[in-house]
Structure 1
C-alpha cells in the first residue's frame, strides 16, 4: 500500500487533517475535503458535498460533518459504520474508529454506530451529557 503520504498537488490551505488506516483526508479553508492514499473501499472517493466543517478517517471509511450538522460517511461499510442513524440529531463533532463511528450531537448526547464486538458503540448510560 502506498500513496497515503503524498499529498496531491494543488491542495489549498489545509485547516484540518484526519489519518485513517491507509488513507489521509485534508479539509481546506473553503470547506472542501480531499482524500488520498489507499482507496480499496472508496474511502477516498469524496462525493460532491456542501461546505464541510470537519473530517474523520477510520480504517477504511471516511466521515464528514457538514455545516448544517449532518454527518455523511463513505467507504467500507462492512460493519454499518457508514450507516448514519436516521434519527441522529444535529452533530457538533464526529470521530471514526477502525470499524465504527461516533457523533457528538449538539444536545450533548453521544451516539456511536458500526462494529460493536468490543462494546465500542455501547455508550454507558451513566455517561453524563457532554458539554
Structure 2
C-alpha cells in the first residue's frame, strides 16, 4: 500500500512543476490560477486572481463549468506546500488538460519569497 507521500512523489514525476523563478510569469500568463486548498486556507490569503476549488471538488467543478472545461486552458495550480497541487495536476492531466503547471513549494514558498498575496475583504461584524 502506498502512502500519501509516495503518491505525491510519483505525481511530481509525471507533471510539470515550476519553481518560484518561473511561477510569477506563469501566473500572469495563466488563463486560470487555481488554489486547491480548503476555503479557510484560501480566505487567510491567496495569490492575486486565484480562484478557490478545493482538491476534493476539482474534477467535478472543471467537468461542470463551461468556462473551465476547455482542455487547452493554461492552468496554474497551487496548495500549501505542493502535494495537493501535484495530485490535482496529475488528475487534470488524466482528464486531458494539456497545459497544467504546479508551483513547487506551494503557497508557503510563494509567501516566503515575498511575492504578492491577496487577502479577501470580509465584512466587519463589530
Normalized against structure 1, the TM-score is what? 0.21
Normalized against structure 2, the TM-score is what? 0.22
Structure (1/2) with the larger helix percentage:
2
